[in-house]
Structure 1
Amino acid sequence: MGRLLRKKDPSKKQKKSQSEDGASRDGNTSAVKGSSPPAIKKPYTPVSKSTVAKEKNIFDKSIQFLREVKVELKKVTWPSKKQTIGSTAVVLVIVAIISLFLGIVDFGLSGLIRAVLQ
């Protein structure tokens, strides 16, 4: 979920565009006129423990979750008042019909069981 808020790294676009310009992988750019020089790679330096991000605690995770919920709720298409009232009326009518049907079936089966047991 955290991926929703991250922005793309602009340096990735530059590396991709340089490789598409036709520069060879060995750094020889003489084949293409007017192309920019290849990017100079920095030597690898191991990451020290002090620069590694600390693990998020439960409070930070809760705040992040609530931010993501807010983003998702903005995407929801909420029904109008008229649609909500209409849907509620349909649900109430269906519940009344089903409860009436189940009551009649229960009454009939309980009478049938009494007749068989006597």
Structure 2
Amino acid sequence: MMGRLLRKKDPSKKAKKAIPVDEAGRNSDSPAEMGKPLPAVKKTYTPVSKAAAVKEKTFIDKGIQFLREVKVELKKVTWPSRKQTMGSTVVVLVIVTIISLFLGLVDAGLSGLIRAVLQ
């Protein structure tokens, strides 16, 4: 199935630069802070209520989302001009004709060879 569309990041929200940390959890770039222990951070548990839980998407919802994504992707397509399309079509038809004639001749030749050997 098609992946989710990537959305552009809000320029007002800047990503913080990652700071390298050693095994003890200290900032390895700052020698002044090498001896200082990091402050303890408490993680709190916040239970999720049933109303806040996201409902599972139905088959129809997934289909509608897919069609929306298809519409967005089709707007990004650079469509060829009529002249380019006609030129490409002619090239394809000529190549198919040449290959079909070649394969027909090879088939007729091998069929004749097999008949000659079997008689």
TM-score range, shorter chain: 0.5 to 0.7
Task: Give 5+ residue unaligned stretches, structure 2.
Answer: 17-43
TM-score by length of 1: 0.67
CA distance in 2, matches of 1:58, 1:6: 27
Higher relative CO (Cα under 8 Å, sequence separation at least 6) belongs to 1
Q: Does 1:89 align with 2:90?
A: yes
TM-score by length of 2: 0.66
Code of the aligned partner of 2:6:
L
Q: Following TM superposition, where does structure 1 have runs of at least 4 consecutive aligned residues deviating by more than 2 angstroms?
A: 1-8, 13-16
- The structure where helix makes up a greater share of residues is 1
Say if 1:90 and 1:75 are closer, same or farther in 2 by CA, change over 3 A. same
Task: Compute the displacement of 1:6 (Å).
Answer: 7.7
Task: Compute the displacement of 1:66 (Å).
Answer: 0.4
Pairs aligned (count): 90
**Percent identity of paired positions between Structure 1 and Structure 2:** 73
Task: Compute the displacement of 1:51 (Å).
Answer: 1.3
Picking from 2, 5, 8, the partner of 2:4 is: 2
